[in-house]
Amino acid sequence: MTIPFEAITLDFGNTLVPFPAGPMAEVVRLTAERTAALAGCSVDDFVRVRGEERLRQFAEEVPAGREADMDVRAARVLARLRGRAVPPDGTRWDDAAVATYSEPGEVEDILNTYADAFVRKTPVPPGIGPMLERLAGTYRLAILSNWPLALAIDRFVENADWRRHLSAVVVSHRVGAIKPWPRIFEQAASELGVASGPEILHVGDDLGADVLGAHRAGWSAAWVRYKPEDSDLPVAPPAPGARPDITIDSILDLEDALDGPGNIPGARRRRRVGNGET
């Protein structure tokens, strides 16, 4: 591969940041502990109902390429805990009716509580910030992530001091579409200010969402092979036809892969200045 990439987009969960099951469960538990009183229920009931609605959203939204938005989920959880009957199997929630069971400020409180717990319980991986700083000297960078609450990623990125290295933070919750659907890749290219095509390299851990998604958008793709075995982050269906252009064990191997034999010669790496001119 000798394509001189102009931009690199990076998946968030299990690519830039590992998400083993334990810390994610702690985030949910802490959110429940702080909001159960608001909902008028026990902590265990909040966790249980939230989990059920999460799975219901996945079944409804993911096949259509939509994110299981956490603001929608929070409103449904409050409605259930306040007496709203669960729709029969195969029937969608009436979200207009659901909204009458809570005030907008209550849903916002839940989302803020979750985002704060997310930042507190998710360690910033060592080495990522310096890597982003080096890469940003050559490429336009963006996070490109499926995530049901953009606020959580935004706050994590600010807390980690990564934002200054990024041209964009593109999250499915804001876009209204998930990887591998083309719309989210097109949005990322637009925010990067780079023509959608093989000059954009997307890096991620999910062969279906990240590798096949990037290739369907006409981009190049790098696959990160290893992630926490117990992670419960959702993944795309098996993708036996995925053929990444670059395969790495860890995101921290990306720089070596970009400069390695058969990839991008070091002489082709150019430093951006000013408004992106080279």
User: Which residue would you say has higher pLDDT here, 261 or 183?
Assistant: 183
Opening angle at CA 17, ends 177 and 257, nearest 5: 95
- Confidence at residue 177, expressed as pLDDT on a 0 to 100 scale: 97
CA distances from 236 to 177, 205, 213 (A): 14, 11, 10
CA distances from 89 to 56, 86, 93, 98, 146 (A): 9, 9, 10, 17, 26
Q: Which residue has 């053929």 as its token pair?
A: 243
Strands (E) in 126-193, as ranges, are: 140-145, 168-171
Reported as a single tens digit per residue, the pLDDT across 40-96 is: 899 999 999 999 999 999 999 999 999 999 999 999 999 999 999 999 988 999 999
Q: Which residue has 């999460």 as its token pair?
A: 54
Q: pTM of the entire structure?
A: 0.90
- Confidence at residue 4, expressed as pLDDT on a 0 to 100 scale: 83
Contact 153, 145 (CB under 8 A): yes
| Percent of the chain scoring above 70 in pLDDT | 92
**For the chain, domain boundaries:** 7-19+125-268, 21-121
Reported as a single tens digit per residue, the pLDDT across 215-229 is: 999 999 999 999 999
Average pLDDT, the chain: 91
CA distances from 76 to 60, 117, 132, 263 (A): 14, 21, 38, 48
Name the CATH architecture for the domain at 7-19+125-268.
3-Layer(aba) Sandwich (3.40)
Per DSSP bridges, beta strands 220-224 and 140-145 are: unpaired
Contact 81, 46 (CB under 8 A): yes
